[in-house]
Chain A
């Protein structure tokens, strides 16, 4: 059961004056969430921010715990920390133990560290184990207005709830363990407004890939992006998480979406969400978080969804995408010399010729998973594409649910049967081939349709070639054996 450490304050205290409802100046959501977490502020120094939730996994934490021990320090707030194993864990044959000695050692180190410091761990055998950014929201640990950190760049996912959520390195993981705070200079604000209905077959993944193509992989540099507009508010929480997840792919510090009734309905009744009077109080607070109508952003980008198509990537960064009906671009079509150089190198690595129709690109593998697209809604959407069809005989395809609970839910709905009968492998939860730290890895030269977030060189295996796309598009590609416009099937 949830025990809140905070005591109710009496009447109106000085503390309450920090709260947005009493503020005069119009504020962005970033301003409000930021201000509510400032522990200490001094001229010429970064603000010291209080961390509400620290998510921990096995790959970026062992050195942090080691340094903590060497300096004789303890974890300040183990009750505000939560750990799971995801990056290196196998997705098949777990009952036989973890055969990779290095990964096993990392996982054991996390188990020992959590045990020693009293940190809750959703471990290897826990049904709640899964990708850290899937399980936070799933458990109701992720809540609006929080400041959330994790030693992982896709921490931006949690911003879908109106939380400020940022990825940090291992030294800062140690800092948060020791102090429950993080010093940060306040980033700028970028409003990305997306308006319009999503055309059939076009998903949240296509929205964020389109945004990244528009603003570039460095377009969010030193800013927190607030996604807003009718397209964004029309998305489910799963879709909003997909959008915020890839904020880091636009170079942003974080991404945020204002909490609303969709957010509250998603959260109500989840294990770590309070009930009764406290729930009412929290919702009342959360309703104050969205940006004021007249709030001013440092920069704004407007995107219209009219004519938006499913995107697929052709290159080695997530801005190198094109509509599925499009063709591999020529490097000469880029004005900027650095972009031209990037495109030339990308095509060489991807072994693609300019002018090739995207739908003529054959594939060897399909990876359906990752913190971007492995929630139950994604698995449902992918299964709908199948309609009795089977995976192309030359393609190896796997579905890796985002958590043990997503997997269980899918099995209760019979989705596992649909995938397995179609010829997909049905795996256990983990990061898997998104970054290929376990045995789920491409061989050199293999080409993969992937629902993940990064098409970097070698990301899914040395010499492997990744094409990013939505779950629906990846399932269709698995069946067709090449990239395909899923809209023709719907």
Chain B
């Protein structure tokens, strides 16, 4: 995983509540066996009409937001399905971070696995960044080491699990980390009472 430290770039506002992963990447794009190439399908049903034509009014299709790297969303962003395709499509479309008051539980974990930074902001701060994002000329800087987000004169701080932060800063792969504890796993397996549930 590529290390994440400071994200700088253009914001794009999509400040609705409860944007679910079915909207982020509709089901017809879950039939592949690869993680790549999903960017063009991001928010497909909002970005395209029923004939497959581009909806020019959809904010992500507006040319002035073509360089957006940070999505500013409403609470519970990415609720619903576990499909990691949602994160793969966001990353493939050039997004490096998402600002929101809260995230769906599975999407948040999926973001961490892929180096896409989910930044949990206070409601008021998220609203302020959504307002700032309404002007495509505004850029944002997310400083992960300092746990600070700023755009122009406005700055907000955010909390993140220190362990997750360290992993993102170093680009560590979770499987590699866990396999350092393989002796603990062996011990756990070999010492488990037989009445503990398990398949056979």
What residues of chain A have their CB less than 8 Å away from a CB belonging to chain B? 1-9, 13, 15-16, 36, 39-40, 44-46, 48, 50, 52-53, 59-60, 62-63, 66, 71, 73, 76, 79-80, 82, 87-88, 100, 102-103, 105-106, 109, 141, 143-146, 151-153, 167-172, 174-175, 178-181, 183, 185, 217-218, 221-222, 248, 251-253, 272, 278, 281-282, 284-285, 317, 338-339, 341-342, 345, 435-437, 444, 454, 456-459, 462-463
Contact = CB atoms under 8 A, between A and B. Distances in A.
A168 B191 contact: no
A218 B102 CA distance: 9
Contacts of B174: 171-172, 175, 183
A15 B193 contact: yes
Contact of A63 (B17, B33, B104): B33
| Those 6 A-B pairs whose CB atoms lie nearest each other, nearest first | A171-B113, A102-B31, A169-B110, A169-B84, A62-B33, A3-B200
B80 A456 contact: yes
B53 interface: no
A332 to B, nearest CB: 17
Given A109-B33, A251-B76, A167 B16 contact: no
B43 to A, nearest CB: 11
B197 A143 contact: yes
B163 A46 contact: yes
Interface of B: 16-18, 20, 22-23, 26-28, 30-35, 45, 50, 74-76, 79-84, 87, 102, 104-107, 109-110, 113-114, 161-163, 174-175, 177-179, 181-182, 184-185, 188-200
A179 B185 contact: yes
A273 to B, nearest CB: 10
B107 to A, nearest CB: 8
B82 A144 contact: no
A7 to B, nearest CB: 7
Given A40-B181, A456-B20, A9 B191 contact: yes
19 contacts: A45-B163, A46-B161, A109-B33, A167-B82, A169-B109, A170-B84, A172-B113, A179-B175, A217-B18, A218-B18, A218-B79, A248-B80, A339-B17, A444-B50, A456-B22, A457-B23, A457-B45, A462-B45, A463-B50
A5 B195 CA distance: 11
Nearest to B45: A458
B82 A13 contact: no
Nearest to A66: B33
B163 A4 contact: no
A272 B199 CA distance: 7
Contact of A181 (B34, B109, B185): B185
A443 to B, nearest CB: 10
A83 B49 CA distance: 37
A290 to B, nearest CB: 15
Given A63-B33, A168-B82, A169-B109, A52 B197 contact: yes
B179 A178 contact: yes
Nearest to B187: A39
A248 B106 CA distance: 9
Given A168-B82, A253-B105, A456-B80, A13 B200 contact: no
Contact of B74 (A62, A106, A338): A338
B194 A4 contact: yes
Contacts of A141: 199
Contacts of A44: 162-163
A80 B113 CA distance: 23
Nearest to B110: A169
Given A253-B105, A457-B23, A8 B194 contact: yes
